[in-house]
Amino acid sequence: MTTDSHSGRTGEQPGVFPRHLLDAESLTLAQLETILTLAARFKKERAAVREVQQSSQSVPPPPQRNLLAGRTVVTLFFEASTRTRSSFETAARALGAGVIALQKEGTSLSKGETLADTAKNLEAVGVDALILRHPFAGTPHQVAREVKVSVVNAGDGQHEHPTQALLDALTLREALGDLKGRTVAIVGDIAHSRVARSNIHTLGKLGAKVRVAGPRTLLPIGIEKLGCDVMHSLDAALDGVDAVMALRIQQERISDARLPSTRDYSRLWGIQQRHVDRLPAHAVVLHPGPVNRGVELASDVLDGPRSRVMEQVDSGVAVRMAVLALCLRAITPAEVAA
């Protein structure tokens, strides 16, 4: 039977935040609001501290410093990553937690142990949370079934990347206010994108209409069943949107014959300044990074006034602080609401 700890679906226990963050799909609207509220607060506090530091006055202790004092989190990354891992580690340290960073090569199988062996070994070390990135979809779900500590999905294969969608939502709310009735276009390699899947679930719950668009070779069958519209041209996708999110094109897409070249991709799907000029005045441009300059986004778009790409990075730390504080139950949803 599916139990709470198996699926991370703990919405039926009011007031208790789920121990795991495995996917955005199973988050309730109330849980999303709790994370975003707390993240917005953390982000503001961090900005205030930065301002004080820059004015070279004596630095006051950040108010969130001790929420995770005495706790230890491990970042267990089976895939190379710099920004997500450093973002999680910065977030954990900002809350006073100890951090162990583990970069693994290959799968549990390649070491001759089962997934449970790998997970239970780390649990036995005495950590409080496993922040897991893995090239295969579903691994955080499988690990969460085996351990008692919190499991936070930092990206699993082509499945989900929930904290990325949360930081996108925070960034979009800051730019646009309430997302109810807003339209967001996600453009690019939808098939291989965990960012796209997490955003479809997250933005949809927050009331936004999501469109996905990209070459047919990169649109997975049945994606509309997740709750989005599918567009087959960039002009159709961008028509009247409040925000556009471009996704990274991997070189692999050329070797597996999904695309002829990045050049040909950008001819059809690259977002140029002329596209941005046709957007409503308030519309913004996002990208989860790292950006291939001139492929997904023209350089002037990336560096231009509509771009919120650097803002996304800043939101990322705040969102991950909120997720860790809530999953480790250092703060309750009621305290966030108060």
Partner 1 sequence: MSAVFTPGTGPQTGRTWLVSGRVIDSKSGLDAVRSVLIEDGKIKLVREAPPDAGERENARVIDCANLLILPGFVDLHVHLREPGEEGKETIETGVRSAVAGGVTTLVAMPNTKPVMDSAAIVRLVQSRGREAGLAKVLCSGAITRGSLGEALSDAAELRDAGVVVLTDDGRPVMHAGVMRRALEYATDLKLPVMIHAEDLHLSSGGAMNEGPVSTRLGLPGVPAAAEVAMVQRDILLAELTGAHLHVAHVSAAGSVRAIRDAKARGLKITAEATPHHFTLTDEAVAGVPSGYPNAPAGIPYDTFAKMSPPLRGESDRQAIVGALADGVIDAIATDHAPHGPLDKQVEFGCAMNGITGLETSLALTLSLVRTGELSLLAAVDRLTYGPARALHLPGGTLSVGVAADVTVVDPERVWKVDSKLLHSKSKNSPFLGWSLKGKVLRTFVDGREVYRLEDR
Residues that bind partner 1 (CB under 8 A): 1-2, 6-7, 25, 107-109, 112-116, 134-139, 141-142, 145, 156-160, 194, 197, 220-223, 225-226
Q: How far is the CB of 22 from partner 1 (least distance, A)?
A: 9
Q: How far is the CB of 263 from partner 1 (least distance, A)?
A: 25
Q: How far is the CB of 217 from partner 1 (least distance, A)?
A: 13
User: Could you please report the per-residue DSSP string of 257-299?
Assistant: TS-S-HHHHHHHH-B-HHHHHTS-TT-EEE--S---BTTTB-H
Nearer to partner 1, 154 or 309 (CB): 154
The pair of structure tokens assigned to 142 is 């499988």
Give CA–CA dist 7/126, Å, rounded.
23
Nearer to partner 1, 98 or 220 (CB): 220
Nearer to partner 1, 93 or 145 (CB): 145
Nearer to partner 1, 8 or 333 (CB): 8
Nearer to partner 1, 139 or 292 (CB): 139
Is there a contact between 143 and 166 (Cβ–Cβ < 8 Å)?
no
Q: Which amino acid is at 204?
A: G
Nearer to partner 1, 194 or 209 (CB): 194
Give CA–CA dist 78/88, Å, rounded.
15
Residue 216 burial by CB count (10 A; 0-12/13-18/19+): exposed, middle or buried? Answer: exposed
3-state SS assignment for residue 247: coil
3-state percent breakdown (helix, strand, coil) of the chain, nearest 5: 45, 15, 40
The residue to which tokens 């730019």 are assigned: 175
Q: How far is the CB of 203 from partner 1 (least distance, A)?
A: 16
Q: How far is the CB of 332 from partner 1 (least distance, A)?
A: 27
Q: How far is the CB of 20 from partner 1 (least distance, A)?
A: 12
